[in-house]
Amino acid sequence: MGKTDIRSFYQSELETWLSSFGEPRYRAGQLFHWLQAGVTNPDEMTDLPLSLRETIRENALIADVKIVRRMASAIDETVKYVYELPDGEMIESVLMRYEHGYTVCISTQVGCRMGCSFCASGIGGLIRSLTPSEMLAQITAAERDNGIRVSNVVMMGMGEPLDNFDHSVRFLKLVSAEGGLHIGLRHISLSTSGVVSGIKKLAKENLPITLSVSLHAPNDEIRSRIMPVNRKWGVAQLLAACKEYQKVTTRRISFEYALISGVNDSDACAEELAKRLKGLLCHVNLIPANPVKENTFQKPDKNKILHFQQLLIRKGINATVRRTLGADIDASCGQLRKRVKEGGTP
């Protein structure tokens, strides 16, 4: 029988696991703290008896990530990591510094099956989903490497979090738990390409996170062309699910909108978008499309971007333009990709 992934366990599950070895329940709180803090060597768990440390070494898998490459931006303080997972697969993750503290953009899958045409993460498709422990490890590895504490998390890296629903929700509950990293759910954003079934399931969890929906187009004609997921759940279905989600959670929804020159940046698109979103408690995050070598998409010029923003604002829609971070290291939105073993780019 294989080793048990105990870093993905809730504290109550650790109690059950430890009791199977005859250990007292209170040890679970101590072990949970070490695991969530990113300690992977049982020898460093100094308040646990030697016999228990040996039990952990023999029976437990404590997932961690290995930094294969670290790229620091010369423009800002953004750092992009290429991490190697325990099975040798590679993912990317980004650490960003803001005035309010440090934010980590984590991946939830190796690759992605969504196939959005403007995004590098889906090139090559989906390899596998990450475990909760592998998501947590991206945060603690960045904290260790920089000697900092992360205060915010965005689930906006490689992968579709709602295509890895159970592990994503477990991660959210673990990362916010007392005794662990204890990052408040209100400081966490989960980004989805528009998996309507997942949005409905997430509403039932009623977690006070920020739901970020990658909309990127005001109608089915444009959205289906650039986002295959729209062929399953159209814009009307997606926005209906968002309204249901908002009714349950009372949380403002963030709509991500990557502005692509000549595709979705017209005045007509802005007018239609504003009409679609009217009545929703929401915010539109305009993202100038970032270059990906496998496509020819370009961002509009600065004046066009600001004009699009002003059209939305005049129609009563709160809209901001996202500041681009880490552009010189391909760390911006849509640029994270699966890496190959030798450190090259597929």
Cα 215 from Cα 230, distance rounded (Å): 10
Give the active site residue among 112, 119, 282, 333: 333
Does 342 qualify as catalytic in the annotation?
no
CA distances from 110 to 107, 137, 153 (A): 8, 14, 18
Give the active site residue among 84, 92, 134, 256: 92
Does 116 qualify as catalytic in the annotation?
no
Residue 152, beta-bridge partner list:
103
Cβ–Cβ under 8 Å, residues 212 and 156: yes
Instruction: Write down the residue that tokens 């009623």 correspond to.
Output: 206
In three state form, how does the secondary structure of 56-110 look?
Answer: HHHHEECCCCEEEEEEECCCCCCEEEEEECCCCCEEEEEEEEECCEEEEECCCEE
Instruction: Write down the residue that tokens 């100094």 correspond to.
Output: 46
- CA-nearest of 158, 169, 216, 207 to 186 is 207
- CA-nearest of 179, 90, 172 to 139 is 172
Burial class from Cβ neighbours inside 10 Å (0-12, 13-18, 19+) for residue 97 reads middle
Cβ–Cβ under 8 Å, residues 45 and 23: no
Cα 158 from Cα 334, distance rounded (Å): 9
CA triple 81-71-288, angle to 5 deg? 85
Backbone angles phi, psi at 320, to 5 degrees: -130, 160
Cβ–Cβ under 8 Å, residues 38 and 64: yes
CA distances from 268 to 189, 214, 287 (A): 29, 19, 18
Catalytic residues: 92, 333
